[in-house]
Structure 1
């Protein structure tokens, strides 16, 4: 179902309000709500795997639900993805960070 009005986005927008009320002290995330997927909310974290982990634990998304991948022409960026139900929506968590091999190549400790 594609959302055509703001009212069609009520579920993800209310989900964001509930998250803010329930988890006010968790790290801020980039938030994505799409009219193409009005039953989904995405929280993304850039260069902060700890924030991803804090949200994953708070939402009781099991570690076995986390998927690992790499991206970029040289696979220099890793991404972690996990999702689970929250209210009337699916909540997706995504984290991006330099891949360990990219860190090692620059001399930065992982």
Structure 2
């Protein structure tokens, strides 16, 4: 846990730099937490295209992307970790599974 806003300076600086360098990319939901003071969490709730644009722009290898389902098999989730400007990054994307047929939780998870 952190005590001051200064303790969050690494992910906040990374966010500032991302906003300048990648202003043309889709806006993510952003989270910084006192529990993980070096982590900048970027999430995308509009499908996987925004996630992929950010992953590519940040040079994060596609082999590191994990996939799973949640919400009783109705939501697909992608997640990947990286580093930018000294901050750990976590990118997460969510999209509805369009088939209407629930997928078993854990299906498609890579090890």
Shorter-normalised TM-score: what interval? Answer: 0.7 to 0.9
Partner residue in 1 for 2:58: 59
The within-5 A match list for 1:6-85 is 6-72=5-71, 74-85=72-83
Which of 90, 93, 105 pairs up with 1:92? 90
Residue in structure 2 matched with residue 104 of structure 1 by the alignment: 99
Distance across 1 between alignment mates of 2:25 and 2:88:
19
TM superposition shift of 1:30: 0.2
3-state SS, counterpart of residue 41 of structure 1: strand
Distance apart, 1:79 and its partner CA: 0.4
Matched length:
101
Would the aligned equivalents of 1:30 and 1:44 in 2 still touch at CA under 8 Å? yes
DSSP-derived class of the 2:91 partner: strand
What SS does the corresponding residue of 2:99 show, helix, strand or coil?
helix
Please list every run of 5 or more consecutive structure 1 residues that lacks an aligned counterpart in the other structure.
none
Report the 3-state secondary structure (helix = DSSP H, G, I; strand = E; otherwise coil) of the residue aligned with 1:105. Answer: coil
SS at match of 1:104: coil
Moved over 3 A (4+): none
Q: Take 1:14 and 1:24, find their aligned partners in 2: how far apart are those partners? A: 15
Larger fraction in helix: 1
Deviation at 1:87, TM superposition (A): 1.4
RMSD between aligned alpha carbons?
1.1
For the 8 Å contact 1:47–1:98, the answer to whether it is kept is no
